[in-house]
Amino acid sequence: MKHLLVLFLVVPSFFMAQEKIGNKIYKYGDLYHAIEGPTLISFKDAKAKTMSKTLEYFSDAGANVKSLSSLFMPGVEVSEEDFANTLQKNNIETLIVFDLIDSSSATMNRSTSSAFSTVNESSSTEFNRSSTNAMSYRGNTNSYNASSKGKAKSTSSSSSVNTQKVQDFVTEMSMRLTIFSKKDGFKTPVGVVEGRVTNGSPDTTADQLARRIVRRMAKALDKQNAF
How far, in Å, CA of 87 to CA of 83, rounded? 6
Q: Region 85-97: what's the mean pLDDT?
A: 96
How far, in Å, CA of 56 to CA of 28, rounded? 24
DSSP type of residue 24: T
52 three-class SS: helix
Burial of 102 (0-12, 13-18, 19+ CB in 10 A): exposed
Each domain of the chain, given as residue ranges in start order, spans 13-107+167-223, 110-165
206 three-class SS: helix
How far, in Å, CA of 104 to CA of 111, rounded? 23
- pLDDT for the residue 76: 86
Q: Region 179-203: what's the mean pLDDT?
A: 95
CATH of domain 13-107+167-223: 3.40.50
Amino acid at 84: A
Q: Based on DSSP, count helices (H) and strands (E) in the chain, helices before strands.
A: 4, 8
179 near 92, Cβ under 8 Å?
no
Burial of 194 (0-12, 13-18, 19+ CB in 10 A): buried
Interval 103-121: pLDDT, tens: 999 988 877 766 655 555 5
pLDDT over 80 (residue 53): yes
Phi (first) and psi of residue 5, to 5 degrees = -65, -45
pLDDT over 50 (residue 3): no
Residue 75 binned pLDDT confidence (cut-offs 50, 70, 90) = confident
C-alpha triplet 91, 94, 98: angle, nearest 5°: 130
Interval 133-174: pLDDT, tens: 333 333 343 433 434 445 555 566 666 677 777 888 999 999
Residue 19 backbone zone (phi > 0: left; psi -120 to 50: alpha; other: beta): beta
DSSP type of residue 18: T
Give the chain's mean pLDDT. Answer: 80
